Structures are given as C-alpha cells and as structure tokens.
Amino acid sequence: MRGTLNDQSLIYLQIARMLEDDILRGVYREEEQVPSTNELARGYNINPATAAKGINLLVSDGILYKRRGIGMFVSKGAGETVKQKRKAAFYDGFVKPLVKEGASLALTGEELLAMIQQAIGEEKEK
Amino acid sequence: MNAGTLKAENLCKSYKDKEVLHNLDLTIEPGKIYGLIGRNGAGKTTLLGILTAQNTKNSGEVTYDGQPVWENQRALSDICFSRELQPTLFSGPNNLKIKHYLKSAAIYYPNWDFDYALRLLDEFKLETKKKISQLSKGQMSMVTILIALASRAPVTILDEPAAGLDVVMRERFYQLLLEDFAQTGRTFIVSTHIIEEAASVFERVIILDEGRILENTDTEELISQFRYVSGRDDVVDEACKGLEVLSTHQMGRHKTVAVRGDAVKLEAAQEADVDIAPMNLQNVFVSLCGHGDTQ
Amino acid sequence: MVKSFRFLLNFTWANLGAIFGFAAVVIVGCYATGVPDNPESGNLFETYYSMFPTMILLCLFLYAFALCTNNLNLGLSFGGRRGDFFWALQGIMVFYAAICWALQLFMSAFPALANWEARERWTLLNLFGGRVWVFPLVCLVLMVLGCLSGMVVVKHKVLGGILVTLSIFVMIGVTCFMILLTETKIMDFLLDTEWSWLWTTLPKVMAAVLTVCAVGGELFIWRTIQRYVVR
C-alpha cells in the first residue's frame, strides 16, 4: 500500500491529489463518502494528522465537505472544481516546464507549437 | 487519554567532564506521534532517561503537567519508557522469563491491557516461558514493543524499537503503532535511526544533534523547506543566493547543493536553469547532522 | 509503595521456595541416612542440618544482592518511585527475615518433635541461650550487607569484592560466635579466666557495631537508589 506514495512531494499533497484523481475518474461520485482520515492513515501507513491535512486541503477548496458524525463527502460539482483547480495549475505545472525544457534544447517557438499540434492530433485519433 | 505536557527547560547533563546535553528546551504536546532522530551518541537515550526520571540531570527542569517528574507518582505512572532489553545483567545472563517480565510491567502500569498483551504475544509468536537471554535480537525488540503498546500509558516512549527487526516486522510495527494511535490518541515518542521508513508515521520530528535540539517541528513542514538544487556551478550559485546552503557536492562543473529556505525564496530559485528536487526526511537529517562527514 | 512491594514479592516466592526445598531435602536426607536414630553418624546431612541457620544467611545474602541490582534496575525502568522502592525493599527484607525465622524455629524444634536422638552439637540450631531475637536481626543485617555489596560491586568491582568478603567474614564470625555462646562448657571455661570481661562485653560491642553498620548501610542504600541511573 505504501508503494503508491513517493518522496517526490509532500505526503498530504499526494493524498489530496489521489483523491482528486479518483473524483475525476468517477471512483467517488458527487455526494458519495470518501475514506475517513483513519482509513487513509491505515491504508497508506501514515500518520492520521497527515491524512487529515490532505482532506482539509480539499475541504478548503470546496471539493469535499464534512457531515458531522458521519464523515467526508464529495461536494456537488466537485469534478468541475478539480478541473478548474488543475487548469489554474496547468500553466505552472506543465506549460512552463515544457517551454523551459524546449529552451534548453534550443527548440524554437514554432517547433514547439508544431509538436503540440501533432500531439493534439494523435490524441484526437484515439 | 488524559496525557499531560512533558517539558524540559534548560536541561544540562554531563558525564564526568563531557557535556552531553546543553541547555536543552523541549516540549512534548499530548496526542501526537513524535520521532526523535539523531546520530549515535547524540544523547537520545540520555535525554529520554532524564525526561522519565530514570536518569539524573545536572541542571534544568523537567516537568509533566507543570509538576517536576522527579519522584512524581502521576508522571511515573503515566509515562512508559520502553527500552531495549538486556540479555545479560550485572550478575550473568538475564534469566527472567517473558511472563514474569510482563507480570512486572502490569504491576507498574495502571492502564495495562492484558488482552492486548495476549494478542500481541500471539502475533509475535513469543513463548512466555522463554528466558530473555534465550531470545533473538528480533524477539527482544518485539518484547520491547509489546510492553510499550500494552502499557496503554498516556505518554509512551520507545527507544530504538525497530533495531532488531527485519523489514517485514518493521512495517508491521509501524502499522501497529498507527492503529494504536488511531484508537487511543496517546502520545508516542519513538527514537530511531531508521529514518526514512518511519518518516510518514511521525507527525512531528525532533532532531537531536550533539546534545542540542536542532528542530522540533511538523515533519512535512520541515521537509518542505529543503531542496536539492543542481546544474552548472555558476548558475546554481546564482540561484541559491538568499538561501541557506547546507552541503555542496561538485563533480567537474556540475554542482549539487542542499538548500533551505522559505517557500518564496525556493520558488524564485526555480526560475533559473537548474533542477530542483525535494529532499526526504533522511536527506534533511543527513544534511543537518552530517557535519561534512560525507561529501 | 504497594506496586514496588508486589513487584519484589513476585521474586521472593521462588527464592523462599528454594530455601524450603533445601530444608526438605536435608530432612529427607537425614531420614534416608539414619540420622534420627544414630547420634554419632556425623554424615553430610547431619552437618547440613546443624548448619542450617548459616545456609539461610548465605541464601538471604545472595537474594539481597539480586534485589538491589537486577530488581532495582527493572523496577525503576518500569517507572517505580525511588523512595517507594526503598521502603518496599525494607518490607521485603522484614518479610524474608520473618519467614526464615519461622523456618529456623521449626528446624530447631523438629528433632525433638520427631523424636530424634538428642545431640550436643546442635547448639547453633537452638535458640542461642534465650536470645530469640538475634537470628532475625542477623538476617536483616546480612540482607543489608547483601544489598550494599550488590550496589557497590556494580560501580567498583574491587571495593565490592572487599565488601562481599567482609560480609562472608561477618557471616562466619556470627556463626562461630553463636556456637560459642551456646557451647556452655567452653563459655564456663572462658568466663573463669581473667578475660571474662571480654566475653561479656564483646557481644554487646559486636551488636553495636553491626547495628551501626546496618544503619549506615541503609543510608547508603537510600542514597544509591536516589541517584541510580537505569540501564
């Protein structure tokens, strides 16, 4: 179980990210319950406080909400919220590194854009 | 669990002429799992002994819930300090049987959980009739862990519990620890030098180096302040201005530095043509306590 | 204090069992070798029987040694209060002395009760010319010495060794002295000489010296426990 966590980023961020991915994939649908802090802690062999931090992050982003005495649930429109959140981070997380890498390879702007177009095409054909 | 706050203030301890702990301040808040990490000889066991009144101090104060721990019945009943077992005693091999050892523990710890102890005995496959001198290193560690967990003491301290265990048993130990914590919320202090494995279990980490506390913070909060920055030496140097450089490794013109800084400064460093990688707890520990022993 | 007392008590059962077992073996051995009927047999079991009090003293010395080394370390490692441990230790020593005294009384009364042939040489076993309280007191003193020896040996092997040797001397000395005291013929002879004053004051002096040693020993034990560092 621990194998799915790595040391590339802080654990609570990975927990939050995994829950977001699951929401996007439909593993947890709107108004469904997500694993509790203790279940996550048990499942990944981490401190419950760390799991709680990950969950709280999603709560403050409006992706999860708490039902007192029951647990954490997926908010209405959570899927959209996650997508918006990821769109906002897309530029810093994917585009900037892509451009930086391209620059270090001395690729021109046109070459980069051409590659992007090609990739879009291939994705459409799937 | 009604645990109190265990606190050391201005603690000093010397053995003969050598000062082992220097003006040490430490507060252990209840309800958290602490990891106490430090190199061999840093003073971990000495510190833990003094916190539990099992060792004497030269100066300073150690209090539990505001009262000094020394000869304090409440503190002594609330705190369990589970040490490594001794295979030999002053007068020869340790012929104490496990069941007598557990019986003795049960007398002293008011919250002792017999059922839990039996379940653990069963899981660890320990025979109660065996003498301590007949146990393997791994089995001795298991007894240490058993005592700590079954004591159900509000503040439980384990000194190198994983030392004799193989990796499978170590993983099981972390699981048991987390399960117990989830159930009871008691305070744990685990001293270890197998750092990376245990890092995800610790909510807070205490780094002890040469008798001083370097850090006592939230584990992830600490890790987030450190990065490896690597690339061409002059670019790296430029990028790391304003950051605290802890160690440097250079191969030709390739330079890798371990740096520490706040989130803003670390973000700024990303702009340069360098590779930035996170550091895990073990890396952080080595860079803080390595003292240039290793390059 | 109750915790530490219960803790130490757990270890006494096996120890006392050993002493009682030894007594049983000696009695059975005497019967097996025809000691009750033959006053002049002079065999091993008869000797053990007559020296039984000394055997008790030796055992108590060894038990006390362990009490103040291994058991002290273990008790404190479980969070035992030091002051409580000291008093529990006192209680256990009194307990040991009381039980051994009872056993000693039994062993000295048994031959008469079981109709064994009387012996002259079993003076030690008898109650030292009316000074009934001497034996338990000597038990306590030897246990204090045992504790002391244990504590000192841990820190200074040489000093501890000296202390152990001294304790053995005390044990032998007391035994000889007791034999002398109850050996009426020798006592009469000694009291007739010009040094009779020695033999009347010597017991008192010895008693005083032993008491001072015991009290001093207890103070040292208290101090050692207060400063003890658990391993």
Query: What average pLDDT is seen over chain C?
Result: 82
State whether residue C65 sits within 8 Å of chain B by CB. Answer: yes
Contact flag B178-A53 (C-beta cutoff 8 Å): no
Residues of chain B positioned with their CB less than 8 A from the CB of A41: 178, 182
User: Could you say which of C66, C82, C154 has the minimum Cβ distance to residue B71?
Assistant: C82
How high is the ipTM of this complex? 0.90
Mean pLDDT, residues B127-149: 94
Nearest residue to B28 via CA among B140, B162, B190: B190
Predicted confidence at residue B242, as pLDDT, reads 86
Count of A-B CB contacts under 8 Å = 53
Nearest-angstrom CA–CA distance, C216 and C231? 26
Contact flag B109-C79 (C-beta cutoff 8 Å): yes
Mark whether B and C touch (3+ CB pairs within 8 Å).
yes
* Distance (Å) from the alpha carbon of C12 to chain B's nearest alpha carbon: 13
| C210 or B174, higher pLDDT | B174
Predicted confidence at residue C190, as pLDDT, reads 63
Count of B-C CB contacts under 8 Å = 64
pLDDT of residue B7 exceeding 50, the answer is yes
Question: Chain B residues contacting C, CB < 8 Å?
Answer: 49, 52, 54-56, 71, 73, 76-77, 79-81, 83, 86, 89-91, 94, 96, 100, 103-105, 107-109
Contact flag B56-C227 (C-beta cutoff 8 Å): yes
Nearest-angstrom CA–CA distance, B4 and B11? 19
What are the pLDDT digits (tens) for C80-124? 999 999 999 999 999 999 999 888 888 877 877 777 776 655 655
What are the pLDDT digits (tens) for C181-196? 656 666 666 666 666 6
Predicted confidence at residue C49, as pLDDT, reads 80
Predicted confidence at residue B67, as pLDDT, reads 94
* Distance (Å) from the alpha carbon of A49 to chain B's nearest alpha carbon: 7
Look at the domain A11-77 and name its fold: Arc Repressor Mutant, subunit A (1.10.10)
Enumerate residues 6+ apart whose C-beta is below 8 A from B193: B37, B38, B39, B40, B160
Question: What residue spans define the domains of chain A?
Answer: 11-77, 79-125
State whether residue C158 sits within 8 Å of chain B by CB. Answer: no
DSSP letter string over A45-105? T--HHHHHHHHHHHHHTTSEEEETTTEEEEPTTHHHHHHHHHHHHHIIIIIHHHHHHHHHT
Predicted confidence at residue C189, as pLDDT, reads 66
Contact flag B196-A7 (C-beta cutoff 8 Å): yes
Mark whether B and A touch (3+ CB pairs within 8 Å).
yes
Q: What's the full length of chain C, in residues?
A: 231
Predicted confidence at residue B185, as pLDDT, reads 92
Q: From first to last of its 126 residues, what are the pLDDT tens digits of chain A?
A: 455 888 888 999 999 999 999 999 999 999 999 999 999 998 899 999 999 999 999 999 999 999 998 999 999 999 999 999 999 889 888 898 898 889 889 999 899 999 999 999 999 988
Name the closest residue on chain C to residue B15, using Cα atoms: C229
Contact flag B278-A42 (C-beta cutoff 8 Å): no
Name the closest residue on chain C to residue B102, using Cα atoms: C78
| CB proximity under 8 Å: C 35-54 to B | none
Query: What average pLDDT is seen over chain B?
Result: 91
Nearest-angstrom CA–CA distance, C70 and A114? 80
Residues of chain A positioned with their CB less than 8 A from the CB of B32: 49
Mean pLDDT, residues B269-277: 85
| B202 or C122, higher pLDDT | B202
Contact flag A47-B224 (C-beta cutoff 8 Å): no
What are the pLDDT digits (tens) for B151-160? 999 999 999 9
Name the closest residue on chain C to residue B147, using Cα atoms: C78
The band of C166, judged by pLDDT with boundaries at 50, 70 and 90, is: confident
User: Could you say which of A38, A46, A100 has the minimum Cβ distance to residue B200?
Assistant: A46
State whether residue C229 sits within 8 Å of chain B by CB. Answer: yes
Which of C10, C70, C77, C86 has the highest number of chain B CBs within 10 A, making it the mutation to test binding with B? C77
Predicted confidence at residue C196, as pLDDT, reads 64
Q: What is the 3-state secondary structure (H, E, C) of chain B?
A: CCCCCEEEEEEEEEECCEEEEEEEEEEECCCCEEEEEECCCCCHHHHHHHHCCCCCCCEEEEEECCEECCCCHHHHHHEEEECCCCCEECCEECCCEHHHHHHHHHHHCCCCCHHHHHHHHHHHCCCCCCEHHHCCHHHHHHHHHHHHHHCCCCEEEEECCCCCCCHHHHHHHHHHHHHHHHHHCCEEEEEECCHHHHHHHCCEEEEEECCEEEEEEEHHHHHCCEEEEEEEHHHHHHHCCCCEEEEEEEECCEEEEEEECCHHHHHHHHCCCCEEEECCHHHHHHHHHCCCCCC
Do A15 and A50 contact (CB within 8 A), yes or no? yes
Please state which of the ranges A27-36, B76-85, B244-253, C29-38 shows the lowest mean pLDDT: C29-38
Name the closest residue on chain C to residue B93, using Cα atoms: C70
Angle formed by the axes of helices A37-44 and A11-24, to 10°?
Answer: 110
User: Could you say which of B56, B90, B104 has the minimum Cβ distance to residue C69?
Assistant: B90
Name the closest residue on chain C to residue B78, using Cα atoms: C79
The band of C129, judged by pLDDT with boundaries at 50, 70 and 90, is: very low
User: Could you say which of C3, C75, C79 has the minimum Cβ distance to residue B80?
Assistant: C79
Question: What residue spans define the domains of chain C?
Answer: 2-226
Predicted confidence at residue A92, as pLDDT, reads 84
Residues of chain B positioned with their CB less than 8 A from the CB of A7: 196, 278, 280
User: Could you say which of C70, C79, C229 has the minimum Cβ distance to residue B77?
Assistant: C79
pLDDT of residue B128 exceeding 60, the answer is yes
Residues C23-48: b if buried by 16+ CB within 10 A, e if exposed: beebbebbeeeebbeeeeeeeebbeb
Percentage of the residues of chain B whose pLDDT score is greater than 90: 74
State whether residue C155 sits within 8 Å of chain B by CB. Answer: no
Contact flag B203-A50 (C-beta cutoff 8 Å): yes
Contact flag B182-A46 (C-beta cutoff 8 Å): no
pLDDT of residue C227 exceeding 80, the answer is yes
Contact flag B49-C75 (C-beta cutoff 8 Å): no
User: Could you say which of B56, B90, B108 has the minimum Cβ distance to residue C3?
Assistant: B108
pLDDT of residue C54 exceeding 90, the answer is no
The band of B61, judged by pLDDT with boundaries at 50, 70 and 90, is: very high
| Phi then psi dihedrals of residue C96, to 5 deg | -55, -50
Residues of chain A positioned with their CB less than 8 A from the CB of B196: 7
Contact flag C79-B108 (C-beta cutoff 8 Å): yes
Nearest-angstrom CA–CA distance, B99 and B147? 11
Predicted confidence at residue B294, as pLDDT, reads 47
Tokens encoding B204: 């807070």
* Distance (Å) from the alpha carbon of B145 to chain C's nearest alpha carbon: 14
Mean pLDDT, residues B143-148: 96
The band of C128, judged by pLDDT with boundaries at 50, 70 and 90, is: very low
Residues of chain B positioned with their CB less than 8 A from the CB of C10: 100, 103-104, 107
Chains sharing 3 or more CB pairs under 8 A with chain B: A, C
Do C155 and C225 contact (CB within 8 A), yes or no? no
What are the pLDDT digits (tens) for B215-246? 999 999 999 999 999 999 898 998 888 899 99
Enumerate residues 6+ apart whose C-beta is below 8 A from C56: C19, C100, C103, C104, C139
